[in-house]
Amino acid sequence: MKAFQLVEQGKPGKFVFTDVPDPTPSPKEVVVRVRACGLNRLDLWAEEAGLPIPVALPRTPGGEAAGDIIAVGAEVRQWKEGDRVAVQSNLFCGKCEFCVRGEETICLESQMLGVQRDGAFAEQVVVPESAIVSLPDAVSYEASAALTLAGSTAMHMLAHRAQVRSGDWVLVIGGASGVGSAAIQIARGMGGYVIATASTPEKQQLSEKLGAHYVVNSTDPDWPAAVRKLTAKRGVDLVVEHVGGEVLAKCFHCLARNGTIVTCGATSGREINIQLWPFFVKQQRLIGSYGRNRADMEATLEWAAEGRMHSVIHQLFPLSRAGEAFQLLRERKVLGKLVIQP
C-alpha cells in the first residue's frame, strides 16, 4: 500500500511517499481502509521533534481517520468487514484504573496513533478494536476526519472537564482553528454567549458564521480589554484555551469571579506566570484537558449526525500531496481543518 512517511525530523522534516507492506491485524485488532484523515498540530509536533516522547522513524503520521473495516482479528466479535468507522487517536489499554472508569485519555499505557505507532496517512491503518467507533451514515468520511480529534477534544473540554451553563459567557481562543471552530458550536449549542478571538478578517468572519456572538482581534496586544468591555467589565465564565504561553496568561485578565480556564495545548509556550492573589481571591480555576474519551467521540459524531455541529474543511489533499498540507498548516493559513484523502 501507499503511505506518507516521516523519515527525518526537523522544521520542516523530510517525508517520503512510498510503498509499505499491507498491515495484518493481531487477534484484537482491525484493519481500516482509510477514506480520510485530518491533519493536526500533533502531526507538526511529531515532525519537528516537539513532543516529550521519542518518535521512531520512519513513522506514518495521521491520527484523525475515518474509513471502512477491511479485515478483523481472530478475536474480534463486535465489528465486521464493511463497517464504517471513525478511529480514536489516543489508544488505551482498557485495563488500568483510569480506563476502567471511562477515562481512556489518561490511560497509564496510552499511545498516540501516528506517533508511537504508524497512523493513517496511508491507504490502510491497523488499530485495536477498542479504538474505533461506529460512523453514522449521516456523517461523511471527510466530516469525521475533520471532527474526531479536534472536535472531540473540544467536546471533552466543554462536556467533561468543564461545563457550560445556559447564559454563561464563553471565550474561545482561536475560533478558526480545529478545536476553536468546534468549541464555538458546542458552547453555543449548550446555551453560552460566545466570544471568539481571531487574527484575520477571514478568521473573524468564520468565527461569526459558526455562531460566535462577538469576535475580538487577537493581533491587538490588549485584546483582553476588548473582552472585558463586551462583558461590561465582568469577565467571562469560561475560557477554552489551546495555545499556551502568553495567550494563556492573558486569559486570566478576561476571567470573571468563579471563572474557569480549560486548556488543552501549548503551541506558543509551555510555561506561564500568573498572579496568585487575584487567582485565589476571585476563586478561579485552571483545568487541564487532554484528548478525548470514547464517550466524547460518540457525542461529537452524534452532534454531527444531528446537524448540531458542522466540520470546517479548509482544503482536501490527495495522499501524494500531504506535504503541501503540512506546509499550509505551518504557515497558519488554515481556516478549520486540512484533510488528507488516500
Instruction: List, for residues 277-328, the tens digit of each pLDDT value.
Output: 888 989 999 999 999 999 999 999 999 999 999 999 999 999 999 999 999 9
Q: Could you please report the per-residue DSSP string of 121-166? A: SBSEEEEEGGGEEE--TTS-HHHHHTTTTHHHHHHHIIIIIS-PPT
Burial 156-178 (b: 16+ CB within 10 A, else e): bbbbbbbebeeebbbbbbbbbbb
Q: Which residue from 40, 67, 90 is spatially nearest to 296, judged by alpha carbons? A: 90
Q: Please state the rounded mean pLDDT for residues 217-242.
A: 96
- Would you place residue 15 in the very low, low, confident or very high pLDDT band (cuts 50, 70, 90)? very high
pLDDT of residue 174: 94
Could you tell me which residues come within 8 angstroms of residue 276 by beta carbon, excluding any fewer than 6 positions away?
A: none
Lowest mean pLDDT among 116-120, 181-185, 187-191, 262-266: 262-266
Statement: residue 269 has pLDDT above 80: no
CATH architecture of 153-288: Alpha-Beta Complex (3.90)
pLDDT at 273 over 90: no
* 18 Rama sector, left if φ>0, alpha if ψ -120 to 50, beta otherwise: beta
> Which pLDDT score is estimated for 336?
86
> 342, 340, 337: which is closest to 313 by C-alpha?
337
- Number of DSSP helices (H) and strands (E) in the chain, helices first: 11, 17
> What is the mean predicted confidence (pLDDT) over 91-104?
93
C-alpha to C-alpha distance for 246 and 132, rounded to whole angstroms: 36
- C-alpha–C-alpha distance, residues 25 and 130, integer Å: 13
Q: What's the mean per-residue pLDDT of the chain?
A: 95
Map out the domains of the chain as residue ranges.
2-149+292-341, 153-288
Q: Is the pLDDT of residue 266 over 80?
A: no
pLDDT-based confidence at residue 334 (cuts at 50, 70, 90): confident
Neighbour count for residue 208 (Cβ, 10 Å): 17
Q: Which amino acid is at 49?
A: A
Q: Do 135 and 144 meet the contact criterion of CB atoms below 8 Å apart?
A: yes
Confidence of residue 112 (pLDDT cuts 50, 70, 90): very high
pLDDT at 149: 92
Please tell me if the domain spanning 2-149+292-341 has the same topology as the one spanning 153-288: yes
pLDDT for the residue 247: 92
β-pair partners for 125: 32
Q: Which carries the bigger pLDDT value, residue 267 or residue 254?
A: 254
Res 36: pLDDT: 98
CATH superfamily of 2-149+292-341: Medium-chain alcohol dehydrogenases, catalytic domain (3.90.180.10)
Sign of the Cα torsion 300, 304, 310, 315 reads positive
> What confidence score (pLDDT) does residue 268 get?
74
pLDDT of residue 328: 94
